[in-house]
A and B are shown apart, each in its own frame.
Chain A
Amino acid sequence: MVDLLEYAVRGIPTGCVFALLAVGLVLTYKTSGVFNLAFAAQAYTSAAVFYVLRKEQEWPLFWSAFIAIVIVGPALGLLLERVLFRHLRGAGSLAKMVTSLGLLIAIPEVVKLFFGSDAKSNPPPLWYVRRTDEWLWPQGSKFVFDAGQVTTILSTLVVVLGLTVLFRYTNLGLRMRAVVESSRLAELNGVNAERVSMASWMLSSMLAGLAGVLVAPLFASLNPIDLFTLLVAALAATVVGGLSSIPLTFIGAIGLGMLQAVLAGSLPTNSVLATGLRPGLPFLVLFALLIFRPGLRSNSEMADPLATVDPPLPVPVAVSRPRWMSISSRTVGVVATMFGLLVSWFVLDGFWLAIVISGVVLGVIMLSLTVVTGIGGMLSLAQASLAAIGAFTTAQVVTATGLPVLVAMLIGAAVAAACGALLAIPVVRLDGVYLALGTLAFALMFESILVPLSWVSGGSVPLAVPRPVIGPWDLADDRYFLLFAALCLTVIALAVIRVRQGTTGRFLQAIQSSPTAANSIGISGGRSRIIAFTLAAGIAGFGGGLLASFAGRANYQASFPYVVGLVWVALVISAGARSIQAAVFSGIMFFLLPATLNRVFSWPENYLEAHQQAPEWMQNLLGLVQPNWAVPVSFILFGIGAFTYAKHPEGIIEAQTNSSVTAVLLWTERRKAKVDATSSMDTPQVSA
């Protein structure tokens, strides 16, 4: 019993960090409707500023902390609110979340461009006080907090105190609380929602910055992914508070920290439970809370008379095009594909060929997003994990049974589909943002609990997956593999088109545009969505197996971390969630853009090497450009792409196509009108 208490107390500092992040999330969610995943990136930014000032510039502790937390944190929040989220007030919560996803991807890369992308190891600690046993209570006490933990607890106490004072005694705070507790009513009562949302963005960004600086020393090096994982854990606390109660969120956060510590201490070490459950616990809790907290399910009956004030999700509408146009655009597509294949076959060297193949294979996985998000209307953040399930299964089946790889890939797809169905059954009852969070929780559970297990991933050394041999063709030759991958992509794309145009696609479209009406004619939302989710999981699983076979190994860290999956989602959504071209395009872009940019950014270096006599100003100027900008710049572009979703939910490619179709139609109509006008001069007639 005493032991448990001891463990629980040890969890308090972690709980405090969860609390700081969680309270920020609740504040911005309630005041501006943004579920801001980018707090992780903002925390990273503050931590990086603190790192640079304190460790590299060796500033005094106070000023480094002050700049990083009190200046940079709120300033970044203010910037995001002014430049981005302010203009999204009318957008749906999903669009806002996708925007924050873009920021999550882009911001850390911007930071890396500024401060260098080399690993920032051993982040400096933020503390003033010493270990508890040196000043607070006697040595030998069971409850020992080190200096960092004491600082965390004290800062959190200060924040709690500050928030209490703010919410109780200040005008702004009262209005903030009004908005947090019932945003619409507060707005109706004349609270200036914009100022409130601005203030809460600054406040919550500062809390995120504080959390970032506080936890950074716990990791060996500064890394946005670690912070994001922490943020998702903090999400569990926000769900405890029902996304609106700040005190409950605090309690949930501290409780979560304690529970985690108790588990860590009391479970037998080295057992599966200890290694898997402890890091996975917050995600399990988040998942369970989402599923079992009925209040969060928006499919429940509308108790709020103002509930319909939120505009529904925009349904992507394709401009209907005449037959000749779709035939000609299809022809162009086929010709372009053929041309691409020919170029790849005859012209490309091994490096670029590998890039193209990876892109084509990723295109298959992207098509799974087309099915689940574009056709099914569900923002799934777990497709990378489902692809990984396919890859692992393929590898395990090949290793264990020696079956042909192709068969193993199909088994992988089936297993992924089964897992997808199991996940879908609880998850499709959620709506919009909650569904996205549920799948994200699943992805993290998978990563932290299942991936380390050797019967899943094969342990620390990735399992080998051979290339298929089909009849006389040994796909160990990359060019044959390319043809095979392109064939798979084509077949799956055709299947996806059939589903989109078929009964399943129509039912899903009906459910998205009016769930009540769809139910009233006997279409069950749950069933159709489970089907879409399962199909998508199967496609992702197949793509995962294919990717593993191409790479030669089912390597989770290299191909399928959940964060990579987030980038895929941002990419495919901004290109066009419903369109096949967009899926293929974004699959190829994911690999092609960084590789191309690398060549572009290497050019100055090579040029200077070749031209030693170049004038000095040119040397200085060109010397600025570095090849390792390629990856950050690509990711920044991918992230920025996601911002367009709020404006063009149908995607950039689809929007482009639609506007050019409209232009062509207008042009043909005008020409027809001209011809009509000239002909009607000869024979005067009243035309309709």
Chain B
Amino acid sequence: MSPTADSTEQPTEQPAPLLQASGISKRFAGLMALADVSIQVEAGETVAVIGPNGAGKSTLFNCLSGVLRADRGTVTFDGQRLESLSPTQRSRLGIARTFQRIELFGGMTVRDHLMVADRARSGRGGLWSDLFRSSKPTEEEHARCQAVLDLLGLDEVQDRSADSLSLGKGRLVELGRALMCEPKLLFLDEPSSGLDRNETEEMSLALETVQREHGTAVVLIEHDVPMVQRLATRIYVLDYGSLIASGNTQEVLQDEVVRAAYLGVAT
């Protein structure tokens, strides 16, 4: 379905990365939340951003997805500069995200969450068709929706109102909603927090499937080290708003500085 599906073969010459963020800085009043942070993400890969609480991970996501405006720095996505674009415009380019403090649409069913996201992506439906044609979902829309429901194991709860779900299911709905946008790049802010073992497993499996089938690049903020080891090939480590290490997952996790800054705090 997605054009970047062939991620198995690596071309020899290095193409431009999917996402290239350089020198991102963000200050909240007296607090330097991000200081000159640069990250890059290749198409189809999974990278993790880790760091202790308050390190600026969510702020980085907010700057990249457009919720916050960075004070300085450039962001290039798929050959396009993002700095002046709104979150809506960035989403249309193929960036989707989930939230650390879960953000669902109160009063809507799980299926509606997916359907709304699908309509927003496809641009189908509008006042005119609401009034004079049918706003009922088409066969294809049903199929796309069903595929995501099945993938995330949300089939049984599809008619439940989203605010009656457990946190774990809620996170899965958020992921499903993001997937309906058929993103090229997915930002996941602590997808496993509040999830039990089974649900974490389900989430990891789903992510692996998505990546295999659609070649979606994923950036995840995650405290769960096994999950990071399982999914991510590379890691960026943030502490007090600066990048203190980055590179291959195993190497970074062995790094003394990282262990001191992060793992010491986390355990």
**Which residues from chain A sit less than 8 Å from chain B, CB to CB?**
301, 303, 305, 315-318, 320, 495, 498-499, 501-507, 509-510, 513-514, 516-524, 531, 535
- The answer to whether residues A502 and B125 also contact, given A513-B105, A523-B120 and a CB cut-off of 8 A, is yes
Collect the chain A residues with CB atoms within 8 Å of residue B266's CB: none
Say whether B178 faces chain A, with CB atoms less than 8 Å apart: yes
Collect the chain B residues with CB atoms within 8 Å of residue A505's CB: 130
Assembled-state Cα–Cα distance A517/B173 (Å): 12
- The answer to whether residues A513 and B107 also contact, given A520-B96, A531-B127 and a CB cut-off of 8 A, is yes
- Give 30 pairs: A residue, B residue, CB < 8 Å, sorted on A: A303-B29, A317-B107, A320-B161, A495-B131, A499-B130, A501-B135, A502-B135, A503-B119, A503-B124, A503-B129, A503-B130, A503-B135, A506-B108, A506-B112, A507-B120, A513-B104, A513-B106, A513-B108, A514-B103, A517-B99, A517-B105, A519-B66, A520-B103, A521-B120, A521-B121, A521-B177, A523-B116, A523-B120, A524-B88, A531-B126
A520 B65 Cβ-Cβ under 8 A = yes
Collect the chain B residues with CB atoms within 8 Å of residue A504's CB: 125-127, 130
Say whether B207 faces chain A, with CB atoms less than 8 Å apart: no
- Nearest-neighbour CB distance to chain B for A323, whole angstroms, equals 13
Assembled-state Cα–Cα distance A87/B155 (Å): 42
Say whether B47 faces chain A, with CB atoms less than 8 Å apart: no
B115 A506 Cβ-Cβ under 8 A = yes
| Binary interface encoding of chain B residues 50-88 relative to chain A, with 1 for a CB under 8 A from any of its CBs, else 0 | 000000000000000111110000000000000000111
A521 B180 Cβ-Cβ under 8 A = yes
Q: Which of A495, A499, A521 contacts B96 (CB 8 A)?
A: A521
A516 B67 Cβ-Cβ under 8 A = yes
> Which residues B2-48 have CB closer than 8 A to chain A?
28-29
Chain B minimum-CB-distance residue to A498: B130
A509 B105 Cβ-Cβ under 8 A = yes
Assembled-state Cα–Cα distance A502/B130 (Å): 5
> Which residues B112-142 have CB closer than 8 A to chain A?
112, 115-117, 119-121, 124-127, 129-131, 135
Q: Which of A317, A521, A524 contacts B116 (CB 8 A)?
A: A521
Collect the chain B residues with CB atoms within 8 Å of residue A506's CB: 108, 112, 115-116, 119
Q: Which of B104, B112, B115 contacts A517 (CB 8 A)?
A: B104
A509 B108 Cβ-Cβ under 8 A = yes
Collect the chain A residues with CB atoms within 8 Å of residue B65's CB: 520
Assembled-state Cα–Cα distance A522/B115 (Å): 13
Chain B minimum-CB-distance residue to A301: B68
Assembled-state Cα–Cα distance A524/B126 (Å): 13
Chain A minimum-CB-distance residue to B98: A520
- Nearest-neighbour CB distance to chain A for B111, whole angstroms, equals 11
Assembled-state Cα–Cα distance A506/B117 (Å): 10
Collect the chain B residues with CB atoms within 8 Å of residue A320's CB: 161
> Other than the known A518-B105, A522-B181, what 15 A-B pairs have Cβ atoms closer than 8 Å?
A315-B106, A316-B107, A318-B107, A495-B131, A506-B112, A506-B115, A507-B120, A513-B106, A514-B103, A516-B87, A517-B105, A520-B99, A522-B121, A523-B116, A535-B127
Q: Which of B88, B104, B117, B129 contacts A514 (CB 8 A)?
A: B104
Collect the chain B residues with CB atoms within 8 Å of residue A513's CB: 104-108
- Nearest-neighbour CB distance to chain B for A371, whole angstroms, equals 11
- Nearest-neighbour CB distance to chain A for B54, whole angstroms, equals 11
Assembled-state Cα–Cα distance A509/B105 (Å): 7
Say whether B246 faces chain A, with CB atoms less than 8 Å apart: no
Chain B minimum-CB-distance residue to A505: B130
Collect the chain A residues with CB atoms within 8 Å of residue B69's CB: 301
Chain A minimum-CB-distance residue to B177: A521
Collect the chain B residues with CB atoms within 8 Å of residue A518's CB: 105
Say whether B91 faces chain A, with CB atoms less than 8 Å apart: yes
Query: Top 6 A-B pairs ranked by shortest CB distance?
Result: A502-B130, A503-B125, A502-B135, A517-B103, A522-B91, A519-B87
Assembled-state Cα–Cα distance A502/B103 (Å): 22
Assembled-state Cα–Cα distance A504/B133 (Å): 13
Assembled-state Cα–Cα distance A513/B115 (Å): 16
Assembled-state Cα–Cα distance A517/B187 (Å): 13
B91 A521 Cβ-Cβ under 8 A = yes
Number of interface residues of B (CB under 8 A): 43
Assembled-state Cα–Cα distance A242/B92 (Å): 35
Assembled-state Cα–Cα distance A20/B97 (Å): 49
B106 A503 Cβ-Cβ under 8 A = no
Collect the chain A residues with CB atoms within 8 Å of residue B116's CB: 503, 506-507, 510, 521, 523
- Nearest-neighbour CB distance to chain A for B218, whole angstroms, equals 15
B92 A522 Cβ-Cβ under 8 A = yes
- Nearest-neighbour CB distance to chain A for B101, whole angstroms, equals 9
Assembled-state Cα–Cα distance A316/B97 (Å): 26
B161 A317 Cβ-Cβ under 8 A = yes
- Nearest-neighbour CB distance to chain A for B145, whole angstroms, equals 13
Collect the chain A residues with CB atoms within 8 Å of residue B130's CB: 498-499, 502-505
Q: Which of B91, B97, B108 contacts A510 (CB 8 A)?
A: B108
Collect the chain B residues with CB atoms within 8 Å of residue A317's CB: 106-107, 161, 163
Q: Which of B117, B126, B161 contacts A521 (CB 8 A)?
A: B117
Collect the chain B residues with CB atoms within 8 Å of residue A535's CB: 127
A516 B120 Cβ-Cβ under 8 A = no
- Nearest-neighbour CB distance to chain A for B102, whole angstroms, equals 9
Assembled-state Cα–Cα distance A503/B99 (Å): 24
Assembled-state Cα–Cα distance A526/B116 (Å): 17
A522 B108 Cβ-Cβ under 8 A = no
Assembled-state Cα–Cα distance A101/B104 (Å): 31
Collect the chain B residues with CB atoms within 8 Å of residue A514's CB: 103-106
> Which residues B243-260 have CB closer than 8 A to chain A?
none
Assembled-state Cα–Cα distance A356/B126 (Å): 35
A315 B107 Cβ-Cβ under 8 A = yes
Collect the chain A residues with CB atoms within 8 Å of residue B86's CB: 519, 524
Collect the chain B residues with CB atoms within 8 Å of residue A517's CB: 99, 103-105, 174, 177
Chain A minimum-CB-distance residue to B159: A320
- Nearest-neighbour CB distance to chain A for B227, whole angstroms, equals 22
- Nearest-neighbour CB distance to chain A for B176, whole angstroms, equals 11
Collect the chain A residues with CB atoms within 8 Å of residue B107's CB: 315-318, 509, 513
Collect the chain A residues with CB atoms within 8 Å of residue B104's CB: 513-514, 517
A523 B88 Cβ-Cβ under 8 A = yes
Chain A minimum-CB-distance residue to B29: A303
For B92, B104, B131, the residue with the greatest tally of chain A CB atoms inside 10 Å of its CB is B131
> Which residues B187-202 have CB closer than 8 A to chain A?
none
Assembled-state Cα–Cα distance A518/B97 (Å): 11
Chain A minimum-CB-distance residue to B97: A520
- Nearest-neighbour CB distance to chain B for A12, whole angstroms, equals 39
Collect the chain A residues with CB atoms within 8 Å of residue B97's CB: 520
- The answer to whether residues A498 and B131 also contact, given A503-B126, A514-B103 and a CB cut-off of 8 A, is yes
Collect the chain A residues with CB atoms within 8 Å of residue B112's CB: 506
- The answer to whether residues A499 and B127 also contact, given A507-B116, A510-B105, A519-B86 and a CB cut-off of 8 A, is yes
- Nearest-neighbour CB distance to chain B for A132, whole angstroms, equals 50
Assembled-state Cα–Cα distance A76/B97 (Å): 51
Chain B minimum-CB-distance residue to A317: B107
Assembled-state Cα–Cα distance A520/B67 (Å): 8
